[in-house]
Amino acid sequence: MKELFKNRLGRVVSPKTVDFIERPVMEPADDEVVVKIVASAICGSDMHIFSGRHPSVPLPVIIGHEFSGDVAAIGKGVRRVEPGDRITVEPCIVCGKCDACLRGHYGYCEHIGFTYRNGDGAMANYITVKEARVYPLPAHLSYQAGALIEPLSVATHAVRRADVGLGEKVLVIGAGAIGILVTALCRLREAGDIALCDHSAARLAMAREFGASRTINPREGDDLEKAAREISSGAGMDKSFECVGRESTFIQAMTSFRRNGLATIIGIFEEPNIRIDAMRFINYEIRVQGSQGYCWDFPIALKMSERIDLEKLITHEFPLDDLQKALETCLDPREESIKLVLRP
């Protein structure tokens, strides 16, 4: 194989410490595309990795999986894109051979992985991906907004799994990017009341711009359970989304909705073992489901991006050289960041 480019990649080498490594970009295989990265966003999972507490990702690891850029080179069998095309990428890796993949449900692949867990992250100059996971970037999206199609796809998958319906009362816990995008999609699905709970006044203000009909801030004395009763006339919310990843918020998601309500859990739990009253499952016939990643959600997210202003979520931008500073900014509550984008 011929070397095409020199690549510089940012990785978390130990908790709260990043470094950069260099390695060559080789010419792509027949079904691969080499992408010159223009914008790469920081995800909540990157922050779990940076803290050294991601339950599925040991250190050191190259991070970054929300990105957009230009096609720099293509394999001999690639037909859907050409060098110079603006694109974004669905960063999952599936086997294509297991029962789930053969049935078209690749999101449930028995061997599913993600590019950053496979040593090929997007905090870099280049990344090589499979053509099947490449999507052209529509003209209405900038590179920065295009990098946010991945989190929008995560939210799309969760809202589709929850089957949010006309007039339903929905509670979203956590006003990070995923929680805000879940809120926006629930609004587009004509949910009735959408309440969003978070400790950040700035994030809650952003959530209102994206469609939250009510915001709840425990730091300012708001009571989540009381608010849920008021919104639902005492019956409880129809559906809830947990977008934080803590025992306390998991329990809140389970106890705020009506009998036969549905909780969708999206957050990454650094401490996965939690305690909850098991009798609530029985007495209330509640339903709980997880939501990870995406499966045929990228095309829908690209369409929804016509109606959701993704650039509004971007609160900070940094050059890639400032990756350490960018990650530290995410951890600093005074910054009240939502999405940070890095430019290689």
Give the CATH number, domain containing residue 45. Answer: 3.90.180.10
Q: Are residues 232 and 338 in the same domain?
A: no
Cross-strand pairs, 157:
none
Total domains in the chain come to 2
Find out whether the peptide bond into 24 is cis, omega within 30 degrees of 0: no
Judgement on whether residues 224 and 137 belong to the same structural domain of the protein: no
Answer whether residue 304 is part of any domain: no
Which pLDDT score is estimated for 120? 82
Digits of tens for pLDDT over the chain (344 positions)? 799 999 999 999 999 999 999 999 999 999 999 999 999 999 999 999 999 998 888 899 999 999 999 999 999 999 999 999 999 999 999 999 999 999 999 999 999 988 877 768 999 999 999 999 999 999 999 999 999 999 999 999 999 999 999 999 999 999 999 999 999 999 999 999 999 999 999 999 999 999 999 999 999 999 999 999 999 999 999 999 999 999 999 999 999 999 999 999 999 999 989 999 999 999 999 999 999 999 999 999 999 999 999 999 999 999 999 999 999 999 999 999 999 999 99
Tokens in use for 279?
A: 């009798």
pLDDT at 119: 66
| Residue 302 placed within a domain | no
Please tell me what DSSP assigns to residue 318: E
Residue 267 and residue 282 in one domain: yes
From 263, 290, 317, the end of a domain falls on 290
Residues 59, 35, 25: CA angle, nearest 5 degrees: 65
Q: Distance between CA atoms of 161 and 292, rounded to whole angstroms?
A: 10
Q: Please indicate, yes or no, whether residues 203 and 224 belong to a single structural domain of this protein.
A: yes
Q: Are residues 130 and 157 in the same domain?
A: no
Alpha carbons 22 and 263: distance in angstroms, whole number = 43
Strand, coil or helix: 340: strand
The pLDDT of residue 57: 87
Would you say residue 324 lies in a domain?
A: yes
User: How many residues are given for the chain?
Assistant: 344
Per-residue burial over 170-185, b if 16 or more Cβ lie within 10 Å, else e, is bbbbbbbbbbbbbbbb
Task: Tell me, yes or no, whether 129 and 165 share the same domain.
Answer: no
In the chain, what is the greatest distance between 2 CA atoms, to the nearest angstrom? 67
Is there a domain that residue 191 lies in?
yes
Looking at the fold, whether 12 and 143 belong to one and the same domain comes out as yes
Shared domain check, 134 and 85: yes
According to the model, what pLDDT value does residue 197 have?
97
**Using CA atoms, how far apart are residues 114 and 90, in angstroms rounded to an integer?**
9
CATH of the domain at 245: 3.40.50.720
- Quickly tell me which residue has 């600093």 as its tokens: 332
Residues 123 and 99 in one domain: yes
| Residue 256 domain-assigned (yes or no) | yes
DSSP calls for 137-201: PPTT--HHHHTTHHHHHHHHHHHHHHT--TT--EEEE--SHHHHHHHHHHHHTT-S-EEEE-S-H
The parent domain of residue 34 ranges over 3-147+309-343
Element (H, E) at 25: strand 17-26
pTM, two decimals, is: 0.96
Tell me how crowded residue 115 is: count the other CB atoms within 10 A of its CB.
23
Q: Which pLDDT score is estimated for 187?
A: 98
Q: Is residue 192 part of a domain?
A: yes
Structure tokens at 306: 């016509």
Residues 165 and 141 grouped into a single domain: no
Residues 84 and 165 in one domain: no
Residues 169 and 285 in one domain: yes
Can you tell me the distance from the alpha carbon of 144 to that of 292, in angstroms, rounded to the nearest whole number? 23
Q: Which amino acid is at 338?
A: I
pLDDT of 165 reads: 95
Q: Is residue 300 part of a domain?
A: no
- CB of 76 within 8 A of CB of 266? no
Residues 243, 171: Cα–Cα separation, whole Å:
11
Give the residue among 46, 43, 1, 44 at the shortest CA–CA distance from 24.
Answer: 1
Task: Answer yes or no: are the C-beta atoms of 319 and 293 closer than 8 Å.
Answer: no
Task: For residue 295, tell me if it sits in a domain.
Answer: no
CA distance 288 to 35: 38
Q: Which two tokens stand for residue 98?
A: 């297991």
* 119 Ramachandran zone, left/alpha/beta (phi>0; psi -120 to 50): left
